[in-house]
Chain A
Amino acid sequence: MFPVRIDNLRYSPNGHPVLDGIDLHLGSDGITLVLGPNGAGKSMLLRVLCGLVEPCGGTIDWGGGVRPARGVMMVFQHPMMLRASVLENVALGLKPLGVSAPERQRSAMAVLERIGLAHRADDSARQLSGGEKQRLALARAWLTRPRLLLLDEPTASLDPSATAEVERIIREIRTDGTRILMVTHNLGQATRLGDDIVFISAGKVCEHTPTRRFFARPASEEARLFIQGELPWRMTF
């Protein structure tokens, strides 16, 4: 499946380019943070990668093969919470894999213990806090042992302690062998978590560099302005 090579990826609904020729190379290990202003195409890139959106042009090469159906998972900013217990919500991830119900529950309990939510296994998932919901969503994805995990702003609107807990779990998932591509607006988080940074602006990758170099010496003017909080919003009428 790796390396994933993205060449000239385009997506233009109604003629408006959201992804305007994305080129990207993802190796088999690490956490890549995707940064960029609102409307840059970050989330759309994830949606194309996980197969939710069909690109208008360009190619994605999955290590010479086709995209593995169950090798890519995505955690959304507002994850789905069924009207069911925390345990049932986590176990849901294994349902399409044909795993038996008792085995699903056993595996879900094991992963809940790793994310520190085992004591809430029988509680309603909808009554969890925002941070706990994100941890549940990460657990649900982790349970399926994806090769590539796409995270769309999983810590947006979380307080610092909840953010720290989510980041701990993301590191654990990575240590477990999952490649992570994560969108964030939190520059502090990018420095804490990211091995490398992909900076996207106006549907294009402006630079893809190791985290330390990105913040010390951004190669593109857009990235420099973004870090300084001076990059103007992309206005399209």
Chain B
Amino acid sequence: MFTSTFVDALALLATFDARVGEIVWLSLKVSGGAVVLGTFIGLPLGACLAVGRFRGKHVALVLLNGMMGLPSVVVGVVVYLFLSRSGPLGSFGLLYTPSAMVVAQTLLVVPLMAAISRQVVEDVWQRYAEELQVMCFSWWQSVTTLLYDCRHSLMVAVLAGLGRAMSEVGAVMIVGGNIDRSTRVMTTAIALETSKGDLPLAIALGVVLILLILGLNAFAFLLRQWAMQRYD
């Protein structure tokens, strides 16, 4: 039973099963979209927190760090409430669409990416602050300069966000509904197929998920190595 399940799972992968491909492609689109949005929101947000001096900064940092561990089902419920027909954004008709899943995953990855970005940028800011000040850099010019300087280190934040988005199941299940050929992604499909007893498909998707995350990490590692040799 155990061996045959794995053999069937590998057969699904070896024959490029269309169903698997469809689910993987949607997962990549949803998580990729969330990470792209998270990059444009979370990284500058973290850098702004690192550079900015304002009242309540410590409270903001505690909140941000706390939100890193936000339960995905809670995010799912909140997004559901906003996007449901009677909610404030119900008129957009986004509930049970991949867009709703992108929104939910973006909310999950932004605090994580922002917190890592803040730490990375703050370390560099401490070294560069005086010189940037002497050169009359504005607050925003300092943020963009630091983000550019830390771009290779910030890959860690992007990878962490991608890992969180791709492995997340609760929020996308709630706001996406796990609808076949519409909002079914790898994690929700694995949960469903396991409960149905279709273990080969669940394992095939699990293998793809792990390979994707390992592959992206390996790519990021090589890119960082190259960048360090080129610029450090």
- Is the C-beta of B135 less than 8 angstroms from some C-beta in chain A? yes
The distance in angstroms between the C-alpha atoms of A69 and B138, with both chains bound, is 12
The distance in angstroms between the C-alpha atoms of A170 and B232, with both chains bound, is 27
Instruction: Tell me the smallest distance from the CB of A149 to a CB of chain B, in Å.
Output: 11
**Do residues B127 and A80 form an inter-chain contact, with CB atoms below 8 A?**
yes
**Do residues B135 and A144 form an inter-chain contact, with CB atoms below 8 A?**
yes
- Is the C-beta of A216 less than 8 angstroms from some C-beta in chain B? no
Contacts of A73 in B (CB 8 A): 134-135
The distance in angstroms between the C-alpha atoms of A135 and B135, with both chains bound, is 17
**Do residues A80 and B128 form an inter-chain contact, with CB atoms below 8 A?**
yes
Among B127, B135, B148, B149, the residue within 8 A (CB) of A96 is B135
The distance in angstroms between the C-alpha atoms of A92 and B136, with both chains bound, is 11
**Do residues B231 and A83 form an inter-chain contact, with CB atoms below 8 A?**
yes
**Do residues A79 and B231 form an inter-chain contact, with CB atoms below 8 A?**
no
Contacts of A93 in B (CB 8 A): 135
Interface residues of B in 149-169 (CB under 8 A from A): 149, 151-152
- Is the C-beta of A52 less than 8 angstroms from some C-beta in chain B? yes
**Do residues A69 and B131 form an inter-chain contact, with CB atoms below 8 A?**
no
- Is the C-beta of B141 less than 8 angstroms from some C-beta in chain A? yes
**Do residues A124 and B134 form an inter-chain contact, with CB atoms below 8 A?**
no
**Do residues B137 and A95 form an inter-chain contact, with CB atoms below 8 A?**
yes
Contacts of B141 in A (CB 8 A): 95-96
**Do residues A74 and B134 form an inter-chain contact, with CB atoms below 8 A?**
yes
The distance in angstroms between the C-alpha atoms of A76 and B130, with both chains bound, is 9
Given known contacts A82-B145, A83-B152, A84-B149, is B131 in contact with A96 (CB within 8 Å)? no
Among A69, A124, A126, the residue within 8 A (CB) of B136 is A69
Interface string of A40-72 (1 = CB under 8 A from B): 000000010011100000000000000001101
The distance in angstroms between the C-alpha atoms of A37 and B23, with both chains bound, is 71
**Do residues A82 and B149 form an inter-chain contact, with CB atoms below 8 A?**
yes
Given known contacts A80-B127, A80-B128, A80-B131, is B137 in contact with A96 (CB within 8 Å)? yes
The distance in angstroms between the C-alpha atoms of A74 and B130, with both chains bound, is 10
Given known contacts A93-B135, A144-B135, is B152 in contact with A52 (CB within 8 Å)? no
The distance in angstroms between the C-alpha atoms of A82 and B141, with both chains bound, is 14
Pick from B127, B130, B131, B230 the residue with the most CB of A within 10 Å.
Answer: B131
**Do residues A50 and B231 form an inter-chain contact, with CB atoms below 8 A?**
no
Bin the interface of chain A by size.
20 to 34
The distance in angstroms between the C-alpha atoms of A76 and B131, with both chains bound, is 8
Contacts of A82 in B (CB 8 A): 145, 148-149
The distance in angstroms between the C-alpha atoms of A140 and B132, with both chains bound, is 12
The distance in angstroms between the C-alpha atoms of A93 and B135, with both chains bound, is 7
**Do residues B148 and A126 form an inter-chain contact, with CB atoms below 8 A?**
no
- Is the C-beta of B133 less than 8 angstroms from some C-beta in chain A? yes
Contacts of A72 in B (CB 8 A): 134
Among B133, B134, B135, B232, the residue within 8 A (CB) of A92 is B135
Contacts of A84 in B (CB 8 A): 148-149, 231
Instruction: Tell me the smallest distance from the CB of A185 to a CB of chain B, in Å.
Output: 21
Instruction: Tell me the smallest distance from the CB of B59 to a CB of chain A, in Å.
Output: 27
The distance in angstroms between the C-alpha atoms of A126 and B127, with both chains bound, is 15
Contacts of B137 in A (CB 8 A): 95-96
**Do residues B134 and A96 form an inter-chain contact, with CB atoms below 8 A?**
no
Instruction: Tell me the smallest distance from the CB of B226 to a CB of chain A, in Å.
Output: 12
Interface string of B156-193 (1 = CB under 8 A from A): 00000000000000000000000000000000000000
Pick from B128, B136, B145 the residue with the most CB of A within 10 Å.
Answer: B136
Interface string of B193-232 (1 = CB under 8 A from A): 0000000000000000000000000000000000100111
The distance in angstroms between the C-alpha atoms of A179 and B205, with both chains bound, is 69
**Do residues B232 and A95 form an inter-chain contact, with CB atoms below 8 A?**
no
Question: 3 tightest CB-CB pairs across the interface, nearest first?
Answer: A83-B231, A80-B131, A96-B136
Selected A-B contacts with CB under 8 Å, 20 pairs: A47-B130, A51-B134, A52-B130, A52-B134, A70-B136, A73-B134, A79-B131, A80-B128, A80-B131, A82-B148, A82-B149, A84-B148, A84-B149, A92-B145, A95-B135, A95-B145, A96-B136, A96-B141, A124-B231, A140-B135
List 20 other contacts, CB 8 Å, given A70-B136, A79-B131, A80-B128. Answer: A50-B134, A51-B133, A52-B133, A52-B134, A69-B136, A73-B135, A76-B131, A80-B127, A82-B145, A82-B148, A83-B151, A83-B152, A83-B231, A84-B149, A92-B135, A95-B135, A96-B136, A96-B138, A96-B141, A126-B231
